[in-house]
Amino acid sequence: MDVSAHDAFILVDMQVDFCPGGALPVRDGDRVIPVLNRWLKPFTDARRPVFASRDWHPPHHVSFRERGGPWPPHCVQHTPGAAFHPDLAIPEGTVIISKGSDPERDAYSAFDGTDLTRRLLALDIRRLTVGGLAQDYCVHATVLEALAEGFAVRLLQEGTRPVEVQPGDGERALAEMREAGAEIVTGEQP
């Protein structure tokens, strides 16, 4: 894969709560970790910027079931479940983008309510390579917003997995991202 001066890597919500055993587990969510570790290598070798988004909810967030939301409590700020998965080799210098911190409003996209666009433009980034969880929620929303903001997107198919509240959500999300202009890159390694 080519990595140029206009490329950055976006790791979406690779947190303990989205992996097996967590509060809102994505089936085989942890299987993407070695894949992402391998794909990160050409970016760190080329000293390209890496961003890691995290779901970062206050207790009693509006998206939680206790408040009539769709999700069990997950990724509560400063709890072990909100931590990045320990097996993910987060490169030195990775910029953490926290989202979903407003108690009254959910945010799936890493761009939603964050300064990600401004940071990317400041670095003259034009193309994003994206992987993480979940394919049908935060990855989907992040990819669509990136494209709408004018960034090119390469989505790592083996670097993402869906939570699939409804069967087929993962496939539908993938098709929508492709139709919106994302390049779907296959392979367990670069």
Q: Are 77 and 58 in contact (CB under 8 A)?
A: yes
Contact with ligand VGL (CB under 6 A): which of 137, 145, 158, 161? 137
Closest listed residue to residue 174, CA positions, set 152, 158, 188: 158
Beta bridge partners of 8: 128
Which positions from 11 through 30 interact with ligand VGL, judged by CB under 6 A? Answer: 13, 18
Q: Are 97 and 110 in contact (CB under 8 A)?
A: yes
Q: Interface with ligand VGL includes 71 (CB under 6 A)?
A: yes
**Widest CA span in the chain:** 46
The distance of closest approach from Cβ of residue 18 to ligand VGL in the complex, given in angstroms and rounded to an integer, is 6
Binding site for Zn ion (CB under 5 A): 55
Give the one entry of Zn ion, ligand VGL, none that residue 138 binds, where binding means its C-beta sits below a cut-off of 5 to 8 angstroms depending on kind: ligand VGL
| 38 alpha-carbon distance from chain centroid | 16
13 as an active site residue: the answer is yes
Out of 7, 55, 99, 136, pick the active-site residue: 99
The distance of closest approach from Cβ of residue 5 to ligand VGL in the complex, given in angstroms and rounded to an integer, is 29
Q: Which residues are catalytic?
A: 13, 99, 138
